[in-house]
Structure 1
């Protein structure tokens, strides 16, 4: 199986441009033989790196509220026109894709990973725990959106950015038999590479991490990120990577620009790697440790 991770960023607050760029990347990856393509966190809807939305503890500003209004307007409803467009592309190309987006559901936004395939839109995963100031912008997902998608030859699952540091989430996903661990992110630190290799080794799975590459000139002119206003200031530095089930880096990490990484995976490596480590199987100790996962959808109001 050939897979791809795309490193790019779409213009903030320009959803049609983001969808068009996603389509371009899907087509480029497919032309290079990819059967599975991963795009970064919040690719559709945008990741507002360096913006504070006028928030201090106990206070919000009118300008910050209006900035959030713009951000909410750029988010997408799921399903909706944008997912319909992307679903048509994956149907045409016959590929599976995991695409980071910002979902608008009522008056709340969620950071999500959208799943697509040859049959179109397949479902989503909502980020369980937004990190730090992301909690001002995004709500928390619940256990009802932890899908694993069977492509017929491999099983896809997703954990978004710092969800990859949640050991219980990882355990729950390992138990679902994830073969291709998809990690849409904006974490461009060198330490992220160690995390991706650790998950590959721990889960005995292929890891496909797609990070944004975003410069100041990718933001509207009226915004002023804390990193500075020089057009070539790098806000998110990439680091997309593909890793084998034994921790070998197969492609990347990609730095200093946009691009698409591909790798040809030998799926027999999954069985070879799990020979001596299956953390929810023969290497588990259920007599000592167990994990309960509540996959119930949580709603505030229910009616008869």
Structure 2
């Protein structure tokens, strides 16, 4: 990566003139990684994030990311960062993102529970950032016939619940659970500055005389 697949995705972003964050399965040699890619409106690949901690049985399939792929991208529409699924429950990971000045905090997930929406509201309020969480809506008919799930074709396997939240925790769009949907909201980055006047997790509320977080952003190569 990059390669033919990212070129096709980038071309789609360029065709529509959009910033695009998308989850993929990345293969590096013989190992698979759960990865999020960020593209600019010119179709260029701005960067990637490999999930640090595969969840549960994911560890049977996916490798572990390291600290070298936790970027926040400075773009004309704001500073974009991505944290994948249950990584969002890692307080140190969130603090690292806040320290990079993330404004558009993307949280792709497969967790459709009400508690996930509450977590996105908490993160938005904690980080004083906009949170955009995309979740999957799927029915049994979306999967191959030999997929090992005994359910009617119209049965909902994942209800979605994508959501957009503002820096004070107010839900601007969603959670969308009724079917496939595209959420839209106008985001005023001035709301971030407004919110940080009274709370800044990595600023005047951080108490560095008491707490300290060290982040190793170096790549961990098996052979040096």
Q: Out of 92, 105, 114, which is 1:168 matched to?
A: 92
Q: Is 1:140 matched up with 2:53? A: no
- 1:178-193 matches, cutoff 5 A: 178-193=102-117
Q: CA deviation at 1:223?
A: 1.7
Alignment partner, residue 281 of structure 1: 203
Query: The residue matched to 2:134 in structure 1 has which SS?
Result: strand
Q: TM-score, normalised by structure 1?
A: 0.72
How far does the alpha carbon of each residue in 1:132-179 deviate from its partner, in whole angstroms, 9 at most, with x for none? 011111111000000111112410000000010000000000000000
- 1:81-230 matches, cutoff 5 A: 81-119=4-42, 120-225=44-149, 228-230=150-152
Aligned length, in residue pairs: 223
Using the alignment, how far apart are the partners of 2:145 and 2:25 within structure 1?
22
- 1:32-111 matches, cutoff 5 A: 78-111=1-34
Using the alignment, how far apart are the partners of 1:144 and 1:210 within structure 2?
24
How far does the alpha carbon of each residue in 1:224-274 deviate from its partner, in whole angstroms, 9 at most, with x for none? 13xx23212222110000000001000000002101000011111011011
Using the alignment, how far apart are the partners of 1:140 and 1:234 within structure 2?
30
Q: CA deviation at 1:118?
A: 2.2
Query: The residue matched to 2:108 in structure 1 has which SS?
Result: strand
Q: TM-score, normalised by structure 2?
A: 0.97
Using the alignment, how far apart are the partners of 1:89 and 1:146 within structure 2?
24
Query: The residue matched to 1:133 in structure 2 has which SS?
Result: helix
Q: Is 1:299 matched up with 2:203? A: no
Gaps of 5+ in 2: none
Alignment partner, residue 178 of structure 2: 256
Using the alignment, how far apart are the partners of 2:155 and 2:91 within structure 1?
34
- 1:10-29 matches, cutoff 5 A: none
Using the alignment, how far apart are the partners of 2:11 and 2:152 within structure 1?
38
**Structure 1 vs Structure 2 CA RMSD:** 1.0
Query: The residue matched to 2:76 in structure 1 has which SS?
Result: coil
How far does the alpha carbon of each residue in 1:74-118 deviate from its partner, in whole angstroms, 9 at most, with x for none? xxxx21111101112222322111101111111111111100002
Alignment partner, residue 50 of structure 1: none
Using the alignment, how far apart are the partners of 1:210 and 1:251 within structure 2?
11
Q: CA deviation at 1:217?
A: 1.2
Query: The residue matched to 1:101 in structure 2 has which SS?
Result: strand
